[in-house]
Chains A and B, each alone.
Chain A
């Protein structure tokens, strides 16, 4: 009985996300048409740009990797009723820690990778746990604290990198990391024809599985979800609300730190100063479209990855500006945010179909029976 129920619910969330996506693409088509471009060729080049050959697929996956990890971070905090808007700062600190390790630590490759990943994880977790602690201890709203943490990270890096990790030529970015000290891997680069594809992709996939496991199967996840759905009931049941808030923000921060790892030591191999990574905010959209479930995040980050990495090609081949891709994302988010409407629509459709089937199956059973309380 259980698998059926779950599948029904999942497909419903999937339908909602798919409806929002289709409507977003439709809105993009209308926009393209209204500026006098052919929407069909626009989309053709947009998707070709993301998927046309192995190199571009590799770039799409590398872009999706960062989005996936931030999406997971936002999702994880959301399950505990927290809004992690601090993913950008956590990414920066996670990336900074990883960059430091890449420049200063020299170990055999497998051991080195563990240290590299661990550094990013810890850096992000530290940046996430602070707003969590402030929330638990002093009831400071996590959004306010996390935004401040974003800027603290931004300005710390602004001074830290020129002082300690300066590149040979430019003042505004860190020295490039040697490939052997990064998340890049020669066999992957070769496999994907010299794209940005790197090992962080597998870290992200592992994170999806681990997060899903924590949320669904462990007592930790049970407690976190209870706190997120109804903190008064959690308190009543003896679950320590504050401790769960801190743990949740710590894990969310760690995931965003891994996003920093993927972006600064995989996708690129240096850090620029004075840039707040936009992925930290795009991750909120990824989480929203993914219905705040790990598997949903996996799918929606791949989709956004295609749009992000295909928009340049679209712009090069047609007169459609790359901002159209961002507009499509924005419209999709808009429709996802109003997803209640789609949910009602699909609920009604599914229910009508279900009832038809039921009526056929059990004509003799009086309907009134169901109402009994």
Chain B
């Protein structure tokens, strides 16, 4: 067997933290090798060492049998190592071709046509389906990722590293990406896949290296190892995939949407004739592919976007024209889709972030003056209760937290406020198994306290796991509302594609 990459006994220390402790990774020629670990386990550090962004304190890197020293990403490129980062590095008003040749423009004259031809050929060879003349801002996230892949192929990369590639993709795009990875290895490339999603590893990877808290836990053959075995190796304890929940005790109507019409950012109809009600004590999941009006719908309910027509009623109050604060006061909690953009002030400490919705009223403040003591106590209560881990407790800046802890902080803030309606949009996106388990249990607990929960997720597993009823959206329309117990993933999948069930059901 020939190892294309060997990282032997790698150790990397940051002040106060051992990020990698004696980790060995051996990738074979032509395999898809997964690296599995929770957030903060040290996967990204290991790959950054391979890509030349960090230097190992100890250990060797051997590429194709030769020991190498990688000092910068350029060195890595020269060795045929390419990386698709989680956040794409593309110039938005450039075409695909221009982005790909950026940094490799060649001599004085720009041979755009030649480059474009080469890109087209590569795209066809690996089934990437990219038009080289499209402008980046006009193409979908999935296509942007494929442009990143093309960028590496254009630079003759033999070893491709994917850092959490599916975090931003829709189920269909994930399917496509898996196929692309298979094509890549079929052509003799080697793929390293960094992820914490077990089903993806099960679907494509050949072997899997598992890391926990900076240490190597094991190397397993994916086919002969069960998902739950890998999960427990990753987390260090048995993991419960199914959410335990009692049957719903449904009460009065909390949220009532009637014939809602909302425009999207392009001033086109994003949500049309949308009517839905959510009752106390139930979780209603909105299933649908990303970009089918979910964002517009949630912004309309929370008051961040004005509506064209229709009414919104919250617990008997007409809030159609109420501002965000009024809605929060009546009882909306919102776990936003983009936790870093909307959910938190990164440069502010946890104590401020926890109070950001309520700072203006008693007991957080009196007569316009903040009550620092109460703010600190309250923040301490939230981070204790929700196990938000940080370097300096409530004084830590939100930006210094890991993604999982940021999300736990937001969930904590919204749940502790005890709203009548809790809206959770993609509440577990990008989180590891342990955090997902925890957040799911919190949403169910909120329901069991007799509140309404409206869940938006692009992951069907999550929708089915949590929801009592499923509302399916397609192109801004409500296709149908079904009881979770009376449907299955296949049927909901069809409805997500816009196919209605037999007329008149529900």
Asked if A pairs with B, the answer is yes
A residues lining the B interface (CB < 8 Å): 1-2, 5, 217-220, 222-223, 225-226, 229-230, 232-240, 351-352, 355, 358, 367-368, 370-373
Instruction: Enumerate chain B residues within 8 angstroms of A372, measured Cβ to Cβ.
Output: 40, 213, 389
Other than the given A238-B357, A367-B17, 15 more pairs (CB < 8 A) read A5-B392, A218-B370, A219-B359, A219-B360, A229-B346, A234-B356, A236-B343, A237-B328, A237-B357, A239-B325, A355-B15, A370-B16, A370-B17, A371-B17, A373-B432
Which of A5, A219, A229, A352 interacts with B15 by CB under 8 Å?
A: A352
Q: List 24 A-B contacts (CB under 8 A).
A: A218-B368, A218-B370, A219-B369, A225-B348, A229-B347, A229-B348, A230-B345, A232-B342, A235-B304, A236-B324, A237-B328, A237-B357, A238-B326, A238-B327, A239-B356, A351-B15, A352-B15, A367-B16, A368-B18, A368-B214, A370-B17, A372-B213, A372-B389, A373-B402
The residue in B323, B370, B372, B391 that gathers the most chain A C-beta atoms within 10 A of its C-beta is B370
What 1/0 flags go to B327-350 for Cβ under 8 Å of A? 110000010100001111111100
Instruction: Enumerate chain B residues within 8 angstroms of A358, measured Cβ to Cβ.
Output: 16
The residue in A2, A238, A239 that gathers the most chain B C-beta atoms within 10 A of its C-beta is A238
Which of B16, B327, B341, B360 interacts with A233 by CB under 8 Å?
A: B341
Q: Are A371 and B324 in contact (CB under 8 A)?
A: no
The residue in A218, A219, A223, A373 that gathers the most chain B C-beta atoms within 10 A of its C-beta is A373
Within 8 A of A (CB), among B1-25: 13, 15-19, 21
- Complex: A367 Cα to B14 Cα, angstroms: 10
Q: Are A371 and B214 in contact (CB under 8 A)?
A: yes
Instruction: Enumerate chain B residues within 8 angstroms of A225, measured Cβ to Cβ.
Output: 348
Residues A230 and B344 in contact in the complex (CB < 8 Å), given A367-B18, A371-B18: yes
The yes or no answer to B38 lying at the interface (CB within 8 A) is yes
Interface size on B, residues (CB 8 A): 54
The yes or no answer to B395 lying at the interface (CB within 8 A) is yes
The yes or no answer to B484 lying at the interface (CB within 8 A) is no
* Smallest Cβ-Cβ distance to A369: which chain B residue: B213
**In the complex, the 9 A-B pairs of residues with the closest C-beta atoms, listed nearest first:** A238-B325, A373-B40, A238-B324, A236-B342, A237-B356, A230-B345, A229-B345, A237-B357, A373-B402
Instruction: Enumerate chain A residues within 8 angstroms of B395, measured Cβ to Cβ.
Output: 1-2, 5
The yes or no answer to B352 lying at the interface (CB within 8 A) is yes
The residue in A1, A236, A351, A355 that gathers the most chain B C-beta atoms within 10 A of its C-beta is A236
Instruction: Enumerate chain B residues within 8 angstroms of A237, measured Cβ to Cβ.
Output: 324, 328, 356-357
Nearest-CB distance from B73 to chain A (Å)?
20
* Smallest Cβ-Cβ distance to A355: which chain B residue: B15
- Complex: A230 Cα to B42 Cα, angstroms: 29
- Complex: A230 Cα to B323 Cα, angstroms: 19
- Complex: A34 Cα to B153 Cα, angstroms: 54
The yes or no answer to B285 lying at the interface (CB within 8 A) is no
The yes or no answer to B365 lying at the interface (CB within 8 A) is yes
Q: Are A373 and B18 in contact (CB under 8 A)?
A: no
B residues lining the A interface (CB < 8 Å): 13, 15-19, 21, 38-40, 42, 213-215, 302-304, 323-328, 334, 336, 341-348, 352, 355-357, 359-360, 365, 368-370, 372, 376, 389, 391-393, 395, 402, 404-405, 432
Instruction: Enumerate chain B residues within 8 angstroms of A370, measured Cβ to Cβ.
Output: 16-17, 391
* Smallest Cβ-Cβ distance to B13: which chain A residue: A367
- Complex: A141 Cα to B224 Cα, angstroms: 61
- Complex: A234 Cα to B372 Cα, angstroms: 20
- Complex: A226 Cα to B360 Cα, angstroms: 12
- Complex: A352 Cα to B348 Cα, angstroms: 25
Q: Are A218 and B369 in contact (CB under 8 A)?
A: yes
Nearest-CB distance from B239 to chain A (Å)?
16
The residue in B342, B344, B346, B432 that gathers the most chain A C-beta atoms within 10 A of its C-beta is B342
- Complex: A217 Cα to B370 Cα, angstroms: 5
Instruction: Enumerate chain A residues within 8 angstroms of B323, measured Cβ to Cβ.
Output: 238, 240
* Smallest Cβ-Cβ distance to B434: which chain A residue: A373
Instruction: Enumerate chain B residues within 8 angstroms of A239, measured Cβ to Cβ.
Output: 325, 356
Q: Are A219 and B368 in contact (CB under 8 A)?
A: yes
Instruction: Enumerate chain B residues within 8 angstroms of A217, measured Cβ to Cβ.
Output: 369-370, 372
Instruction: Enumerate chain A residues within 8 angstroms of B344, measured Cβ to Cβ.
Output: 230, 233
Q: Are A222 and B214 in contact (CB under 8 A)?
A: no
Instruction: Enumerate chain A residues within 8 angstroms of B334, measured Cβ to Cβ.
Output: 236
Instruction: Enumerate chain B residues within 8 angstroms of A236, measured Cβ to Cβ.
Output: 302, 304, 324, 334, 336, 342-343
Nearest-CB distance from B439 to chain A (Å)?
14
Instruction: Enumerate chain B residues within 8 angstroms of A230, measured Cβ to Cβ.
Output: 341, 344-347
Residues A368 and B21 in contact in the complex (CB < 8 Å), given A222-B370, A373-B40: yes
Instruction: Enumerate chain B residues within 8 angstroms of A226, measured Cβ to Cβ.
Output: 345, 348, 352, 356
- Complex: A2 Cα to B18 Cα, angstroms: 27
Instruction: Enumerate chain B residues within 8 angstroms of A1, measured Cβ to Cβ.
Output: 393, 395
Residues A373 and B404 in contact in the complex (CB < 8 Å), given A220-B368, A233-B356, A238-B357: yes
Nearest-CB distance from A85 to chain B (Å)?
23
- Complex: A16 Cα to B473 Cα, angstroms: 53
- Complex: A238 Cα to B405 Cα, angstroms: 23
Instruction: Enumerate chain B residues within 8 angstroms of A232, measured Cβ to Cβ.
Output: 341-342
Instruction: Enumerate chain A residues within 8 angstroms of B376, measured Cβ to Cβ.
Output: 2
* Smallest Cβ-Cβ distance to B435: which chain A residue: A373
- Complex: A282 Cα to B368 Cα, angstroms: 33
Q: Are A355 and B369 in contact (CB under 8 A)?
A: no
* Smallest Cβ-Cβ distance to A5: which chain B residue: B395
- Complex: A370 Cα to B405 Cα, angstroms: 14
Residues A238 and B328 in contact in the complex (CB < 8 Å), given A233-B345, A373-B39: yes
Nearest-CB distance from B112 to chain A (Å)?
35
Nearest-CB distance from B423 to chain A (Å)?
11
The residue in A222, A239, A240 that gathers the most chain B C-beta atoms within 10 A of its C-beta is A222
The residue in A1, A219, A220, A358 that gathers the most chain B C-beta atoms within 10 A of its C-beta is A219
- Complex: A367 Cα to B344 Cα, angstroms: 29
Nearest-CB distance from B200 to chain A (Å)?
20
Instruction: Enumerate chain B residues within 8 angstroms of A355, measured Cβ to Cβ.
Output: 15-16
Nearest-CB distance from B332 to chain A (Å)?
10
- Complex: A368 Cα to B21 Cα, angstroms: 9
Instruction: Enumerate chain A residues within 8 angstroms of B327, measured Cβ to Cβ.
Output: 238
* Smallest Cβ-Cβ distance to A235: which chain B residue: B304
Q: Are B345 and A223 in contact (CB under 8 A)?
A: no
Q: Are B365 and A219 in contact (CB under 8 A)?
A: yes
* Smallest Cβ-Cβ distance to B332: which chain A residue: A238
Instruction: Enumerate chain B residues within 8 angstroms of A2, measured Cβ to Cβ.
Output: 376, 395
Q: Are A219 and B304 in contact (CB under 8 A)?
A: no
Q: Are A371 and B368 in contact (CB under 8 A)?
A: no
Nearest-CB distance from B218 to chain A (Å)?
18
Nearest-CB distance from A225 to chain B (Å)?
7
Which of A223, A229, A235 interacts with B324 by CB under 8 Å?
A: A235
Instruction: Enumerate chain A residues within 8 angstroms of B356, measured Cβ to Cβ.
Output: 226, 233-234, 237, 239
Instruction: Enumerate chain B residues within 8 angstroms of A220, measured Cβ to Cβ.
Output: 368
Nearest-CB distance from A236 to chain B (Å)?
4
Residues A222 and B359 in contact in the complex (CB < 8 Å), given A236-B334, A238-B324, A371-B19: yes
- Complex: A233 Cα to B406 Cα, angstroms: 14
Instruction: Enumerate chain A residues within 8 angstroms of B39, measured Cβ to Cβ.
Output: 373
Nearest-CB distance from B442 to chain A (Å)?
17
- Complex: A248 Cα to B253 Cα, angstroms: 42
- Complex: A185 Cα to B341 Cα, angstroms: 52
* Smallest Cβ-Cβ distance to A220: which chain B residue: B368
- Complex: A373 Cα to B336 Cα, angstroms: 21
Nearest-CB distance from A356 to chain B (Å)?
10
Instruction: Enumerate chain B residues within 8 angstroms of A5, measured Cβ to Cβ.
Output: 392, 395
* Smallest Cβ-Cβ distance to B372: which chain A residue: A217
- Complex: A219 Cα to B327 Cα, angstroms: 20
- Complex: A70 Cα to B395 Cα, angstroms: 31
- Complex: A51 Cα to B376 Cα, angstroms: 44
- Complex: A229 Cα to B365 Cα, angstroms: 21
